Every structure is written in C-alpha cells, then in structure tokens.
Amino acid sequence: MINKILIYLIIILIVGCNPDAYQLANRISVDPINGDLLHPSSPFIKAHMKDGKVYVLNSWEMINKYDGFGNVNYLIGEGTLLSVNREILEQEQFEIPLDSVVILETNELTNSGPATALTLVTGLSLIGSTLCAQNPKACFGSCPTFYVNDGQNNIIQAEGFSSSISPSLEATDIDMLYNASNSDEIFQVEMKNEAYETHVISYLDLLIFPKSNDERIFYEIDGTFWNTNEIIGPSSCSINNNDCLDKIIEMDDLEWFSVTDSFNLAKKEIIEIEFNNIENGDYGLILGARQSLLSTFIFYQALSYMGKNVGEWLAMTERGEIPHGEIFNILGGIEILIKNERGKWEKWNEMKEMGPIATDIHMIKLPHLINESKSIKLRLAKGNWRINYIALASLNEKLEPIVLKPSSIYYDSKYDEEAMNLLLDNKQKLVTLPGDVYTINYEIPSNELKYEYFLKSRGYYLEWIRDSWIEEENLTSLIKMNFTPKKTLKDLAPIYKEIEADMENIFWNSKYEK
C-alpha cells in the first residue's frame, strides 16, 4: 500500500512540474453577497475512474440512453484519456458511463443532474468575504443544517452525516430534535445548504414516538431508543478543581469548553461528574455536545496539503487506495470512564458523533456499577468538544419509532415535485447547492398527542476547494498527516493556537446565503 502511494506521489510531482500537464483552468469565482456563479467560457471536467484512469474533457454534456438492460447516464465529450501513470492514451470523442466514475472534478458549477452528485468544484475564490479571507480555515462548512421550531423560532436543531465527506463514506445519521415544538397536523423541517459544498441526500425521514407529559425518549449510540420518566442531574462537575456544573446542568445556551494544548492537539483532559439519589436499576448517561472547530481546521488543512491534486486524492480514497481518518481517531471522541469492581477507572464506551454546528444528544447505557460509585469521568482531547448537557436517565423499555416520509416539499415557496420524488425513491438522490433552502413537511398521525421527534438522514457531501487552500499544497506534510498523525497533531498545535480564539466568531458569521 505504501509503495503504491509513493509511486503515485512521484507521478504527481512529475506532472506538477510539467508546464504542459493537464490542469483545470479559468477558476470559478463566487461572490457571497449576490451569489452569482461565473461560468468560464472554456470549461473543463475531469472524470476520475474506478480503474485509476482519468478523462480530461474540454467539451461535454450529460445524456441518458437505453443500453439494452435499462437507462444509463453517460458523460459525452471531446478530450484526453490519461493512464494511471498519467500518460496520454487516447485523444478523441468519449462516451463514459457515469456509474464507472468515482469523482468528477470541474472548475465551474453546472447543475448536470446525476453528475452533480459526484462533482468536486476546485479553485473557488471567495470574493467579498472579509472574514473568510482573514481565516480561510474557519469559513462556515457543514453538511445539511436542519431548522425546526422550538415554540418561538426556527432554530438549528440538527446537522446530517457530518463525517460523510465523499460518496464512499455515505452514512445514516439520527438526530434528536430535543427542543422541537409542534401542535399542528404538519411537522415542518427547513433544510439548508449554508456552505460552499455540494450536499447529496438519499432520504430524510422523521421518526416520532407518542409520549406522556413527563416522558422523554433518547437514542442510544448502538441504535436503540429508550424511554424514561426520571432524569437526574449531576450533583457536581469539576475539571482541574474548577467547577463546571452551571454549564452542563441544563440544555440551554451555556456550554462548557476548554482551549487546546499549546504543544499537542491530542492532549487529553478529564471531567469528573458525581450524582446523588441513584437507586438500583438501569441508567443511561445523557450527553449533549458538539465538536469545536479543531476537527474542521484539521480537515481543511488536509485539503490544503492536497492542493491542486485534491481530486486525485479524493478519487484514491474512493477506490480504497489510501488510508484516511486516523488523525481524527487519535483526537478521539468523548470517552466514558466507569469504576470497575476493583475500584479502578476504565473506559466503558465512547461518543464520537462529529459536527461543530448543532448540539447532538445521545444516550449511553451504563453498567450497574454506576449504582455503587455514583460517579463517572469523561476523557477528551483539550479544546475538541463543547459540552452543553450531562444527566442520567432511568431506563424503562426499548421502543420502536413511527417512521414518516415527507408529505410535501417546497423550494422558494413553490411545491417541488422533483425533489419530492427524489427523496421518496431509494435509488435517487436530492442534490443541493450553496444557498438552497427546502421546506419539508410531514403529516403527523394525531395532533392531540405529544411526540418525541428525531430526524433520520442519509447522504454525503463534497467540500468545494478554495484558491487559498491550493496555495498551501504540500505533499510531504500530507504524507506525514496520513502516516505519522501523532507528530502532525504536535506540529499543528502552535498554528491552530494562533487562530483558535477567533474561530467560532468567523465560522458563524460566514454562512452562505443567496
């Protein structure tokens, strides 16, 4: 595997030094103020294939035709076919089945139906975005954001499939809508694309549970739903002898967070939590948290190291040819520590839900040892998490949700039949672009009952590559990030420390809106 990657790197270096190498030209510029997309007069598209070859087309279109077995989407155009070693194999008119492509890469944005779901936009210049220019690695980036009414306003209550950064990493995500309030026959979710990204959604279902006034339902990280009539708040919360109880006792606007270590971004810290009034029985730890922007910074830094070859790297990831994600495994999630029978603290479980936008609430079922110790510890990387809520819930029984499909979808206040059909068809996908906003409605069985609400989404997203990132191309650093991630987390510590204080402000004030 390593030899294969090294050979590939040599190819990149040779091509990168060749002035006649095939590269994308006429990079797209996007003005966040008016949302205009400037289309170059001579667009190019690269089709990265499953076998490692690449088509570079300078004139192309998408067609759909019958091949004897069914309808197939084809990319048709004139250009050049390059070998795995990036040697010219053919120069002619090509007809490429879209299902043999792993990633499309272009320097302009065009909504080309099924091709859009595979299209990586490179060379993006952010004109007029002062905050992003100040710190490009703090620009707002997300998977789809979901806004739901809390009884007063539509607020962000969930974000979908945050770690699914390419087609092969498509995943299902279940998010509790903790503050959702609804008394109508229609439950409404507003889905937004607020970043320079392509979002690809397979489905968006609403899961509901009828409940009593004093009952709540929580989602366990193993996929189980439990109901409870008793929630116990901590009696104490401390870290390094500093009290943190007021930050985590309620699900509100207060969050506990710390700053990263100056020399090692993987440096851990421990939060100590104690509970009173615990009787014998089954309990689950309720944990409401979101990531800081540390993981966002590292992800954007990796894309920067890839530079103009980001399409090649992403295609290799799709083909399973390179490792990925180990650096985030080292950063880790929030580990739950419990005292064992010998009184020694040991890891019981870990919450790894990624995403810096919405507080995600999960429940982790605890062993009966909690009945005796009445305490837990949380171990996490310094500055990597923002914790909003910690509590214990007595567990009653496992439940199965009522699954609701969308009953109607609106785009720009108009009913969107195409989007509706795409979300209801398991073989199709809804693709959204920056600034898109969809209002999705669900018919509730009875508005006389109270419900607990969860969103179940499946999909992936493709990050658009900024010009400022490409300028930082560094293949040596990229190799180190993949193969010596612990050292990389030490090397990046002082760089992140310089921008850490301003990350949240820049992030939240750089959302994309049409």
DSSP per residue, 370-425: HHHH-EEEEEEETTSEEEEEEEEEE---EE-PEEE--SEEEETTEE-HHHHHHHH-
The candidate with the shortest Cα–Cα distance to 411, out of 200, 204, 156, 191, is 191
Beta-bridged to residue 218, according to DSSP, are 226
Distance CA 77, CA 96 (A): 9
User: Domain containing 44: what range?
Assistant: 24-121
pLDDT for 114 equals 67
Neighbours of 278 (CB within 10 A): 16
pLDDT for 369 equals 76
For the CA atoms of 455, 348, 237, 266, the dihedral, rounded to the nearest 10 degrees, stands at: -90
Distance CA 356, CA 345 (A): 29
- Cβ atoms of residues 141 and 302 within 8 Å: no
- Please check whether residue 97 lies inside any domain of the structure: yes
- Please check whether residue 272 lies inside any domain of the structure: no
Neighbours of 329 (CB within 10 A): 10
Helix (H) or strand (E) holding 4: helix 2-17
- Please check whether residue 371 lies inside any domain of the structure: no
Structure tokens at 234: 């901590």
pLDDT for 275 equals 94
* Residue keyed to tokens 């603290």: 345
Distance CA 361, CA 282 (A): 19
Structure tokens at 103: 């990633």
Residue-wise pLDDT for 389-431, tens only, equals 999 999 999 999 999 999 999 998 999 999 999 999 988 899 9
Distance CA 431, CA 440 (A): 15
Beta-bridged to residue 431, according to DSSP, are 200
pLDDT for 104 equals 85
User: What is the SS3 assignment for 79?
Assistant: strand
**What amino acid occupies position 139?**
C
pTM of the model: 0.86
Q: What sign for the dihedral angle of Cα 466, 322, 160, 356?
A: negative
- Please check whether residue 79 lies inside any domain of the structure: yes
- Chain centroid, CA 271 distance in Å: 26
Q: How far is CA 25 from CA 45, 254, 353, in A?
A: 10, 47, 38
Q: How many domains would you assign to the chain?
A: 1
pLDDT for 325 equals 79
pLDDT for 142 equals 73
- Please check whether residue 286 lies inside any domain of the structure: no
- Please check whether residue 78 lies inside any domain of the structure: yes
pLDDT for 13 equals 41
Distance CA 178, CA 157 (A): 7
Distance CA 9, CA 359 (A): 39
Distance CA 490, CA 493 (A): 5
- Please check whether residue 64 lies inside any domain of the structure: yes
Domain of 110, CATH number, reads 2.30.30
Maximum separation of any 2 CA atoms in the chain, in Å: 76
- Please check whether residue 492 lies inside any domain of the structure: no
What is the 8-class DSSP label of residue 127? T
Structure tokens at 434: 């920056």
Helix (H) or strand (E) holding 76: strand 71-82
pLDDT mean for each 10 residues of the chain (514 residues): 45 38 31 28 73 85 76 86 87 91 77 71 61 73 91 94 87 95 93 91 97 95 93 95 96 95 97 90 95 93 87 82 83 95 93 91 90 90 97 96 98 94 91 93 91 96 81 89 93 96 88 76
